[in-house]
C-alpha cells in the first residue's frame, strides 16, 4: 500500500472570509465544535467496543463521587466522558477513542502498484477497515474539517495529528516508499515515526529528532558503511571524507563535489543539532518542536536520496 502519512482535506471557509485572508485553523476547541465532538464521543463509545473505563484511565479522568451539580448515579461513564470532560482535555479523549477503535485506516487512492497480489486476509482486512472508517472516523473527520480544526485524523486512523501542508506530506510519503527496500533497513518505519512524533496532538520533539537521525542512518548505511554494523551518522560523516571519490551524486554541481558537499552539510547539520543525545553534569536542553520538524524535513530528503540511488557508489 502506498505509505501516505497525512490526509489532505478541503476545509470550508465562511463567505465573509473567502475574498480576504485565509481563515486561520483553530488550535483550540470552539463552542460549536466542542458540542459536536461531545456528541461524537458519546455515540461512538456507546455504539462501539471501546471501553469507557480505559478511556477514563488513559485521559486521567476521575468522577467526583459527590458532585455538587449532578447526582453521580444519574449519568453513566459514557455520558460523563462525553459531557463532563473539561474542554482542554476533549481532544485527548477523541485521540484515545481513535486508538481504541477497531483498525480502520483512511481509504486512499493507490498511485503505485502493490509489490505482490493481496491475500484474502489482507483484502478482508481492507474491507473491514474501510467499514470502520466510514462508520466512526469519517463523521469525525467531517466535524474537524467543518470546525476548521488544526487537527485531522492520522492516515492509519489511530490518532489525531496536526494538519500538514500537502507538499510536505507528499514528500514524506515518497521518501517512505523509496525506503521500502531490504538494504535500507527500518528507514521508512523510522521516518514515519519521526513525522508522527513531530506533528502529533501531543508532539514529542526529542523522539521526532532521534527517529529522524535513525531513519537517515538506516537509509545511508548500505551506501556509506555497509560492513559497519555499529555505524552512526557520526561515523558515516567520517566515512564520507574517506570514500568521497567513490561516490556519485545525481546533481554533482559545477566542480563535481558541490553535490556531495551539500549531502555532507545536511548530514552534519542533522547530527550536530541533536543537543539531547548524551548526558552531562550540566542541564541538557531538549530539542524544540521547530528544530524537530526541521530535522524531519532534512531526514526526508536524505532518506529519499539514498534510497532512490541519487547518492550511490560509482
Lowest mean pLDDT among 3-7, 177-181, 228-232: 3-7
Indicate if the pLDDT at residue 223 is higher than 90: yes
Share of the chain above pLDDT 70, in %: 80
Model pLDDT, residue 131: 67
Per the model's pLDDT, the better-predicted residue between 145 and 117 turns out to be 145
83 CB-near residues (< 8 Å, 6+ apart): 38, 42, 75
Give 101-144 pLDDT, tens digit per residue: 987 555 543 333 444 565 554 455 555 556 666 789 999 999 99
Q: Which residue has the higher pLDDT, 256 or 268?
A: 268
Domain residue extents for the chain: 1-163, 164-275+285-314
Phi then psi for 12, rounded to 5 degrees?
A: -65, 140
Q: At what angle do helices 31-47 and 90-100 cross, to 10 degrees?
A: 30
* pLDDT confidence bin for 11, thresholds 50/70/90: confident
Model pLDDT, residue 255: 86
Q: Could you identify the residue written with the cell 481504541? A: 100
50 compared with 70, residue with greater pLDDT: 50
187-199 and 289-308 are packed helices; what angle lies between their axes, rounded to 10 degrees?
Answer: 160
Does 5 have pLDDT greater than 60?
Answer: no
pLDDT for residue 208: 97
* The predicted structure's pLDDT at residue 115: 46
The mean per-residue pLDDT over the stretch 282-306 comes to: 93
> 32 or 11: which carries more pLDDT confidence?
32
pLDDT greater at residue 118 or residue 167:
167
Cα–Cα distance for residue pair 19/201, rounded to 1 Å: 31
- Check: pTM over 0.75? Answer yes or no: yes
Which of 303, 296, 28 has its CA nearest to residue 169? 296
pLDDT greater than 70 at residue 36: yes
pLDDT attached to residue 92? 97
CA distances to 32, 98, 148, 166 from 17, rounded to whole Å, are 18, 32, 13, 22
Q: What is the chain's mean pLDDT, rounded?
A: 86
Q: What pLDDT band is residue 311 in, cutting at 50, 70 and 90? A: very high
Q: What are phi and psi of 258, to 5 degrees?
A: -65, -40
What residues contact 140, with CB distance under 8 A and at least 6 apart? 37, 40, 44, 94, 98, 153
Phi–psi pair at 200, nearest 5 degrees: -70, 165
Cell readout for 302 is 536524505
* Confidence check: pLDDT of 38 > 90: yes
Report the pLDDT averaged over residues 23-33. 88
| Whole-number pLDDT of residue 25 | 85
What does the DSSP assignment read for the chain? --------------HHHHTSSPPPPBSS--HHHHHHHHHHHHHHHHHSS--HHHHHHHTT----SS-SSS-GGGS-HHHHHHHHS-GGGHHHHHHHHHHHSPP-PPP----S--SSPPPHHHHHHHHHHHHHIIIIIHHHHHHHHHTTBSEEE-TTSSSEEE---HHHHHHHHHHHHHT-SGGGTTHHHHHHHHHHHHHBTT--HHHHHHHHHHHHHHHHHHHH-TT-TT--HHHHHHHHHHHGGGEEESS--TTSSHHHHHHHHHHHHHHHT-TTSS--SSPPPPPPHHHHHHHHHHHHHHHHHHHHTSEEE-
Judge contact between 247 and 312, C-beta under 8 A. Answer: yes
Q: Count of CB atoms within 10 A of residue 47's CB?
A: 10
**CA–CA separation, 239 and 190 (whole Å):** 22
| Angstrom distance (rounded) from CA 300 to CA 194 | 10
* Cell numbers at 150, concatenated: 488544526
pLDDT band of residue 24 (cuts 50, 70, 90) is confident
Cell of 15: 463567505
182-210 pLDDT, tens per residue?
A: 999 999 999 999 999 999 999 999 999 99
Tens-place pLDDT, residues 67-108: 665 555 678 999 999 999 999 999 999 999 999 998 755 554
Mean pLDDT over 51-59 rounds to: 96
Amino acid at each position: 500500500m502506498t505509505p501516505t502519512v497525512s490526509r489532505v482535506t478541503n476545509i470550508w471557509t465562511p463567505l465573509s472570509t473567502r475574498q480576504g485572508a485565509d481563515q486561520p485553523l483553530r488550535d483550540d476547541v470552539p463552542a460549536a465544535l466542542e458540542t459536536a465532538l461531545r456528541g461524537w464521543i458519546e455515540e461512538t463509545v456507546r455504539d462501539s467496543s471501546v471501553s469507557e473505563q480505559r478511556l477514563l484511565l488513559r485521559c486521567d479522568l476521575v468522577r467526583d463521587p459527590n458532585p455538587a451539580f449532578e447526582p453521580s448515579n444519574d449519568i453513566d461513564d459514557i455520558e460523563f466522558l462525553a459531557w463532563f470532560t473539561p474542554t482542554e482535555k476533549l481532544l485527548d479523549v477523541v485521540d484515545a477513542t481513535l486508538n481504541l477503535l477497531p483498525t480502520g485506516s483512511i481509504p486512499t487512492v493507490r498511485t503505485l502498484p502493490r509489490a505482490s497480489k493481496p491475500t484474502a486476509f489482507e483484502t478482508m482486512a481492507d474491507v473491514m477497515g474501510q467499514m470502520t472508517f466510514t462508520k466512526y472516523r469519517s463523521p469525525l473527520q467531517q466535524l474537524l474539517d467543518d470546525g476548521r480544526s488544526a487537527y485531522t485524523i492520522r492516515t492509519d486512523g489511530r490518532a489525531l495529528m496536526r494538519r500538514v501542508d500537502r507538499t510536505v506530506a507528499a514528500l514524506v510519503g515518497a521518501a517512505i516508499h523509496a525506503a521500502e527496500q531490504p538494504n535500507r533497513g527500518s528507514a521508512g518505519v523510522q521516518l514515519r515515526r519521526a513525522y508522527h512524533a513531530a506533528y502529533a496532538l501531543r508532539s514529542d520533539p526529542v523522539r521526532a529528532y532521534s527517529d529522524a537521525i535513525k531513519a537517515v542512518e538506516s537509509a545511508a548505511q548500505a551506501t556509506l558503511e555497509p560492513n559497519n554494523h555499529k555505524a552512526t551518522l557520526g561515523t558515516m560523516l567520517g566515512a564520507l571524507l574517506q570514500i568521497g571519490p567513490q561516490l556519485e551524486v545525481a546533481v554533482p554541481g559545477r566542480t563535481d563535489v558541490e553535490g556531495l558537499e551539500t549531502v555532507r552539510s545536511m548530514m552534519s547539520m542533522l547530527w550536530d543539532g541533536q543537543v539531547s543525545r548524551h548526558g552531562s553534569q550540566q542541564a541538557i536542553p531538549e530539542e524544540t518542536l521547530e528544530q524537530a520538524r526541521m530535522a524531519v524535513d532534512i531526514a526526508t530528503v536524505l532518506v529519499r536520496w539514498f534510497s532512490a540511488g541519487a547518492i550511490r557508489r560509482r
